[in-house]
Structure 1
Amino acid sequence: MTATVTAPQRPTTSRRRTVGPGLALLIGPLVVLGVGLGYPLAWVIAKSFTDRNDRFAGLSTWSTTLSDPAVHKAVWRTVEIAGLATAGCLVTGTFIAFVLAFVPFPGAGAIVRIIEAVVSLPSFLLPLALGVLFGPVGVISSITGDNLTLMSSVTGVVLAEIAFYTPFVVRPVLAAFSQFPGVHIDVASSLGAGPLRIATRVILPRVRPSLAAAGSLTFLLTLNEFGIVLFTGAKDVMTLPMMIYTKSIVGSDFATAAVIAVLQLALSVTVYLGYRLILRRFDARTGV
Structure 2
Amino acid sequence: MASPGGRLAEPQAVPHAVPAAPPGRSAPAARKATTVLWVLPPVAVLALVFLYPLALVVQESLAPGAYADVFASEAFREALGTTVWLAVGSTVGCLVLGFTLALIIAFVPFPGGKAVAKFIDVFLSFPSFLITLALLFIYGTVGMANGLWTDVTGAPSGPFHFLTTPWGVLLAEITYFTPFVMRPLLAAFSQLDTAQLEVASSLGARPARIVRQVILPEALPALAAGGSLVLVMCLNEFGIVLFTGAKGVTTLPMLVYSKAILESDYAVACVVAVVNVAISVGLYGLYRVVSKRAGA
Please give the TM-score of this superposition, normalised by the length of structure 1: 0.87
Match of 2:246, SS state, is: coil
Of 135, 147, 155, the residue aligned with 2:167 is: 155
CA offset digits 1:214-255 (Å, max 9, x no partner)? 000010001000000000000000000001000110111111
CA offset digits 1:168-202 (Å, max 9, x no partner)? 11111100000000111112112221111001111
Q: Does 1:142 align with 2:147?
A: yes
Equivalent residues in 2 for 1:158-173, closer than 5 Å:
158-173=170-185
Give the % identical residues.
Answer: 43
Following the alignment from structure 1 to structure 2, what is the Cα–Cα distance between the partners of residues 135 and 241? Answer: 23
Q: Which amino acid in structure 2 is aligned with residue 192 of structure 1?
A: G
Match of 1:124, SS state, is: helix
Equivalent residues in 2 for 1:83-232, closer than 5 Å:
83-145=88-150, 146-232=158-244
Contact 1:93 1:170 in 2 (8 A): yes
Q: Which amino acid in structure 1 is aligned with residue 46 of structure 2?
A: L
Q: Does 1:25 align with 2:30?
A: no
Residue in 1 that maps onto 2:14: none
Contact 2:83 2:235 in 1 (8 A): yes
Match of 1:235, SS state, is: coil
Q: Does 1:66 align with 2:71?
A: yes
Residue in 1 that maps onto 2:254: 242
Q: Which amino acid in structure 2 is aligned with residue 258 of structure 1?
A: C
Q: Which amino acid in structure 1 is aligned with residue 205 of structure 2?
A: A
Match of 1:267, SS state, is: helix
Q: Which amino acid in structure 2 is aligned with residue 37 of structure 1?
A: F
Total equivalences in the alignment:
267
Residue in 1 that maps onto 2:287: 275
**Contiguous gaps of at least 5 residues in structure 2:** 1-17, 22-26, 151-157
Following the alignment from structure 1 to structure 2, what is the Cα–Cα distance between the partners of residues 138 and 65? Answer: 39
Following the alignment from structure 1 to structure 2, what is the Cα–Cα distance between the partners of residues 12 and 274? Answer: 48
The worse-fitting range, judged by mean Cα deviation, of 126-135 and 100-109 is 100-109
Post-superposition offset of 1:22:
2.5
**Contiguous gaps of at least 5 residues in structure 1:** 1-9, 51-57
Contact 2:225 2:294 in 1 (8 A): no
Post-superposition offset of 1:118:
1.5
The worse-fitting range, judged by mean Cα deviation, of 138-147 and 88-97 is 138-147
Post-superposition offset of 1:281:
4.6
Please give the TM-score of this superposition, normalised by the length of structure 2: 0.85
Contact 1:94 1:173 in 2 (8 A): yes
Post-superposition offset of 1:279:
3.4
Runs of 4+ residues over 4 Å off in structure 1: 10-17, 280-283
Following the alignment from structure 1 to structure 2, what is the Cα–Cα distance between the partners of residues 150 and 187? Answer: 47
Match of 1:237, SS state, is: coil
Contact 1:157 1:229 in 2 (8 A): yes
Contact 2:165 2:248 in 1 (8 A): yes
Q: Which amino acid in structure 2 is aligned with residue 161 of structure 1?
A: E
Residue in 1 that maps onto 2:53: 40
Q: Which amino acid in structure 2 is aligned with residue 221 of structure 1?
A: M
Following the alignment from structure 1 to structure 2, what is the Cα–Cα distance between the partners of residues 119 and 64? Answer: 39
Contact 1:137 1:147 in 2 (8 A): no
Over the aligned positions, Cα root-mean-square deviation in angstroms equals 1.9
Following the alignment from structure 1 to structure 2, what is the Cα–Cα distance between the partners of residues 220 and 150? Answer: 25
Q: Which amino acid in structure 2 is aligned with residue 26 of structure 1?
A: V
Residue in 2 that maps onto 1:3: none
Following the alignment from structure 1 to structure 2, what is the Cα–Cα distance between the partners of residues 70 and 273? Answer: 28
Equivalent residues in 2 for 1:245-264, closer than 5 Å:
245-264=257-276
Residue in 1 that maps onto 2:15: none
